[in-house]
Amino acid sequence: MPRIGFEDFSKQIKRGDIPAAIYLFGEEDVLKEEVVRAVLDRVVDPGLRDFNTDQRSASSLDPEAVETLCTTLPMMADRRVVIIKEVETWGKRGAAKAAVLRYLEKPSAETVLVLVQGAPRNQDTRTPDEGDPDLARLATAVQVERYPQRLAEKWVTKRAEERGISLTPEATTHLVRAVQGELGAARSELDKLAGLGESGKPIDLDQLTASLGVRRGETTADWCEAVLEDRTGEAAAMLPHLLGQTGISGVGLLIQLGTELVGLGLARAQYDRGAKGQALERAIFSGLIRARPARLDYRGASARWARVVDRWPAQRITSAIHAARVADTRLKGTTISDERGVLVDLLMQIRKADGDRR
The pLDDT of residue 1 is above 80: no
143 DSSP β-pair partners: 5, 25
Q: Which fold has domain 3-143?
A: Rossmann fold (3.40.50)
Note the pLDDT of residue 161: 92
Q: Give the whole-number percent of the chain exceeding pLDDT 90.
A: 65
Of 109 and 198, the structure prediction assigns the larger pLDDT to 109
Residue 56 CA to residue 52 CA, distance in Å, equals 13
Nearest to 342 by CA among 257, 216, 226: 257
Domain ranges of the chain: 3-143, 149-212, 220-357
Q: Do domains 3-143 and 220-357 have the same CATH topology?
A: no
Pick the CATH number of 149-212 from 3.30.360.10, 3.40.50.970, 3.30.565.10, 1.10.8.60: 1.10.8.60
Q: Compute the mean pLDDT over every residue in the chain, rounded to the nearest whole number.
A: 88
- Listed in sequence order, the DSSP H helices in 163-219 are 169-178, 183-193, 205-212
Instruction: Give Cβ neighbours of residue 249 (< 8 Å, ≥ 6 apart).
Output: 243, 339
Sequence-distant contacts of 228-236: CB under 8 A, at least 24 apart: 228/260, 228/264, 228/304, 228/305, 228/308, 228/312, 229/308, 230/311, 230/351, 230/354, 232/347, 232/348, 232/350, 232/351, 235/347, 236/343, 236/344, 236/347
| Domain 220-357 top-level CATH class | mainly alpha
Full-model pTM: 0.74
